[in-house]
Amino acid sequence: MLAVGVLLLVPATIPPDAVGGTVAPVPAGTVRPVAAPLPAAEPVRVRSAAIGLDSAMIPLGLDAAGALDVPPDGAATGWYTGGPAPGQLGPAVLAAHVDWDHRLGPFAHLRALAPGDLVEVDRADGRRATFEVQAVRRYPKDRFPTDTVYGDLPRAGLRLITCGGSFDRGAHDYDDNIVAFAALVTT
């Protein structure tokens, strides 16, 4: 089984200096106008036509060490319940496996997202929050940018996290994480 680990995402268009060097800051702007935040509502499904993503959602908390829990298998995407709900003010965090038990996971193609692509989150209140991807970055797990991913935002944002980089067969884990950063643009 392959775990999400520390939860980082690896984009298809990773800047050459993204791993082991300086990573450009995450862009604040979007092509589309940003939307006003929504009230809290539990997410139930996440989709992105750009990468063939269509996944049910499950709640995630923290593990005994205080790190984000990972989904128990490769069937669903997890939402970190200790942060904002998707569409709410601040960074909502979703995590899923890149692969699981020799099968593709929900975030198998996350690294292929590109700025301008859309990610839709269906919510229990019947609303759909649509986010525009701003950037996709790869980070070594030992240098995960916690403040950048979980830090306060002046708008509703979305962070999609999975494993990436090289697979360490001895550790049964990936060396890096991939993170897609997105902003709410329509509801």
Residue-wise pLDDT for 140-176, tens only, equals 999 999 999 999 999 999 999 999 999 888 888 899 9
- Cα dihedral 53, 26, 15, 172 in deg (nearest 10): -50
| DSSP strand pairing (43-48 vs 53-60) | antiparallel
pTM for the structure as a whole? 0.86
Q: What is the mean pLDDT of residues 100-105?
A: 92
Look over the chain and give the mean of its residue pLDDT values, rounded to a whole number: 88
Q: Which of 2, 15, 4 is nearest to 144 (CA)?
A: 4
Residue 148 buriedness (CB in 10 A; 0-12 / 13-18 / 19+): middle
Smallest CA-to-CA distance from 183 within 76, 51, 31 is with 31
Give me the architecture of the 43-186 domain, per CATH.
Beta Barrel (2.40)
Distance in Å from the first CA to the final CA of the chain: 36
Q: Residue 8: pLDDT band by 50, 70, 90 thresholds?
A: very low
Domain boundaries, the chain: 43-186
Structure token digits, residue 76: 């669903």
Q: What are the C-alpha distances in Å from 179 to residues 61, 125, 169? A: 18, 27, 22
* Averaged pLDDT, 39-43: 98
Q: Which of 150, 155, 140 is nearest to 32 (CA)?
A: 155
Q: Report the C-alpha gap between 50 and 138 in whole angstroms.
A: 19
